[in-house]
Chains A and B, each alone.
Chain A
Amino acid sequence: MLSAIWETEGLQTVGIVMLVFASIKLLHLLGLISFSEDSVEDELELSTVRHRPEGLEQLEAQTRFSRKELQILYRGFKNECPSGVVNEETFKVIYAQFFPQGDASTYAHFLFNAFDTDHNGSVSFEDFVMGLSILLRGSIQEKLNWAFNLYDINKDGYITKEEMLDIMKAIYDMMGKCTYPALREEAPQQHVEVFFQKMDKNKDGVVTIDEFIDCCQNDENIMRSMHLFENVL
């Protein structure tokens, strides 16, 4: 009699255990829980994007680079990005190699957005070369335009203090920790204040494109530095 009770209890134990396993399996099938960490791999796109740029003549016409210069640029570009387009990760990696002491990823992110004019998440060679053409061979107006575009993170035509602060922090991040004098927490903020004092003429808390260009054209230092990289290529 007693053993019968124990037998049924034992069978009940089995039943409960099997129920638990079955429910776990069901949840796994439904995708609510995952056991392995490598489900990330399944999400990778299997097709890599291949992009071929426009012909050399067209690019020559559109940009202010000579044929030879375009050739040199493309060779370097293709070396790092064999698929023909740069995505943000690769862009960050490449840019970070030039600034080993600090963290260049934030600034690279902003740069990427500035180059990616059609906002499709990747920078093709045309975008790259167009951007460089402006930066290296453009007029002052175009260069300042480009810089304004860089600072204006949400592309609404106004630079706010928050946007400027982000940019400034990104620039200071590239310096890293080991600087002289030692980097203080408030340095970016102070820098932003100085910038706004200079640029914001009507003190409305934002800087518009005209204010920006006006102010820069009146500043001798900035004018001189705009011509700094003319003969880079």
Chain B
Amino acid sequence: MAAGVAAWLPFARAAAIGWMPVASTPMPIPPQEKKKGKDGLIILNVSGTKFQTWRTTLERYPDTLLGSTERDFFFHEETNEYFFDRDPDIFRHILNFYRTGKLHYPRQECISAYDEELAFFGIIPEIIGDCCYEEYKDRRRENAERLQDDEEMDMSNDVTPVNLTPREFLWRAFENPHTSTLALVFYYVTGFFIAISVMANVVETVPCGMLPSRAKELSCGDRYALAFFCLDTACVMIFTVEYLLRLIAAPSRYKFMKSVMSVIDVVAIMPYYIGLVMTDNDQVSGAFVTLRVFRVFRIFKFSRHSAGLRILGYTLKSCASELGFLLFSLTMAIIIFATVMFYAEKGSTASKFTSIPAAFWYTIVTMTTLGYGDMVPKTIVGKVFGSICSLSGVLVIALPVPVIVSNFSRIYHQSQRSEKRRAQRKSRLARIRAAKIRGTNVYMRYKQNGQINSLEEASKEAGKALVAKARSPPFESQHNHLLHCLEKTTNHEFVDEQTFQANCMEISVMNKTGSCASSLSSSPHGLSSCCSRRHRKKSSFSLPSTNNQELSTIQIRERPVANSRSSLNAKLDGTLKCDKPYITPSMVSLSAPVVTTSDGHGSTTTTAYSQSNIVRVSAL
């Protein structure tokens, strides 16, 4: 903590002489000052930007990279400076920390980049100064939320339904309706019935025409009582079934029963059952009528269907303090003005302001600028204060409202962002997948060219039109070499997707027929290989899981291939004869249909793959 004022330490120690005369015991021996290193300048070269500081400045914090011997690892003898291949803009702040003892967070920097730099230089972020701490924490929280969103999406998609118990499956169907068609159907059906139920409640009270025997008009509810009753029953049955299913499927029933939505569900269906139970007693029917009011809560069930409603509810919850303040200030103002108005209007004849509570109504109506006009002041004084009341009403109400609005806007934008991220997730994954495929294709091309080159040398076929590839950059060639080494190590090869699917079909065919390589040509359809079927089933989920499945099937399927390969090899030996004696087929891959085979069967398209006897020979 005192390292920021380390330069004043000599002063503090010198001032300790003031304690000496009053001390009664001898003082401890001071620490041995090791031979002071020359207090020289240190040059820190961060990606070309040179920073210089005193050695002692850096050594104030010995548990960081720059303050400890760890920086010797970065010493560059030729230029006699310390070189760091990091971001110079962020390094500026880190160096300032050493100088002033306070770490600041620049607003325009990305939070993860900043965190990485801090981690690299061994500085814990908790020591960020008060001036920047709020901003840092906010940004960090946003970032964490974003990561959590992504993870949740991953997790919710990765769990395959095969591993779920029926109960978990049911819960998942309820929470994410778009996971299965049944859930979607259920979702829409419940929505429809909520709407029907609410509309029925509304229409029930509309006057529906007169019966000749009665004097007054009947409402629709009374006229078609049976119809409405049946409708109500149907809706309540659906809601009850839904509630019971949710209750059964919930992972934690207690928590589910405490949640807001379940309370709304219960309140929505309770009046019906209570009505069933109760008799047609006159005394109780008054209470029963009141209960019917609760049926309107069914409309809140829509909040499961609408994100906007949920956001509104969340906003109101988070703005509770502002709303409370609004209410409090309004109450204060109402009481003040009601009192003043009452005493001002006391004198006028036939004044409606009979008491202060009666004046409350006038004050509320005036302050919210409603102005019904059922109560108006008649005296001059009353009118003066009435105008002051309405002016102040506008102010008092207008003040907390922007706070609530900005809260709502922030939460709404947040949900928009996460929605956008979710939507973009598909395209993001597609981009990632495309990049992977590109990489695979590069490798495939490298392999083909590599094989073709070696084949060409081996077979001395000069006339082959080979695309002489431009020299690939050294990084790429080294990377490809690495992948090649991996292939050699595992005795497997990398293939691209279409080839792999074709392989799947091929292999299933081969397994079924049990014959050798000659029966490689087969009908691609008809025999629905488990591979393709599984692929189709997986198509509704996210792609990473598909890839996982594919990879695992590669491992599974490779055994039979190896067997067949050996038979292939045997056959190939026979085929090749002594034309190319120096080709020893070490590994055969059923892939890359573009390459022509040694016996001239040309098949260049993937679709015609199954018809050709494609064998690739990779020379050792």
Residues of A whose CB lies within 8 Å of any CB of B are: 2-3, 5-7, 9-11, 13-14, 68, 72-73, 75-77, 79-80, 94-95, 97-98, 100, 110-111, 114, 128, 131-132, 135-136, 143-144, 146-147, 150-151, 164, 167-168, 171, 191, 194-195, 212, 216, 221-222, 224-226, 228-229, 231-233
Contact = CB atoms under 8 A, between A and B. Distances in A.
B5 interface: yes
B12 A95 contact: yes
Contacts of A167: 22
Contacts of B4: 97
Nearest to A107: B18
Given A3-B347, A3-B349, A228 B19 contact: no
A167 B6 CA distance: 25
A229 B39 contact: no
A97 B23 CA distance: 23
A171 B19 contact: yes
Interface string B1-23: 11011111111111111111111
B380 interface: yes
B349 A168 contact: no
25 contacts: A14-B381, A68-B39, A73-B7, A75-B7, A76-B7, A79-B7, A95-B12, A97-B2, A98-B5, A110-B18, A132-B11, A135-B15, A136-B10, A143-B17, A146-B18, A147-B21, A151-B18, A151-B21, A171-B22, A212-B21, A222-B21, A224-B27, A228-B30, A229-B17, A233-B10
Contacts, number: 126
Interface of B: prevailing SS: helix
B149 to A, nearest CB: 41
A127 to B, nearest CB: 12
A98 B17 contact: no
Leading 4 A-B pairs by shortest Cβ distance: A76-B7, A6-B347, A10-B381, A135-B14
B25 interface: yes
Interface in B278-307: none
A80 B18 contact: no
B132 interface: no
Given A98-B9, A147-B21, A168-B22, A225 B15 contact: no
Q: Interface range on chain B: under 10, 10 to 19, 20 to 34, or 35 or more? A: 35 or more
A223 to B, nearest CB: 9
B347 A9 contact: yes
B26 interface: yes
B357 to A, nearest CB: 21
B14 A229 contact: yes
B267 to A, nearest CB: 49
Contacts of A150: 18
A33 to B, nearest CB: 22
A194 B24 contact: yes
Interface string B143-164: 0000000000000000000000
A63 to B, nearest CB: 13
B384 interface: yes
A61 to B, nearest CB: 20
Contacts of A222: 20-21, 23
Contacts of B18: 110-111, 114, 146-147, 150-151
A151 B21 CA distance: 10
A171 B99 CA distance: 30
Contact of B22 (A132, A144, A195, A229): A195
Given A98-B9, A231-B33, A224 B26 contact: yes
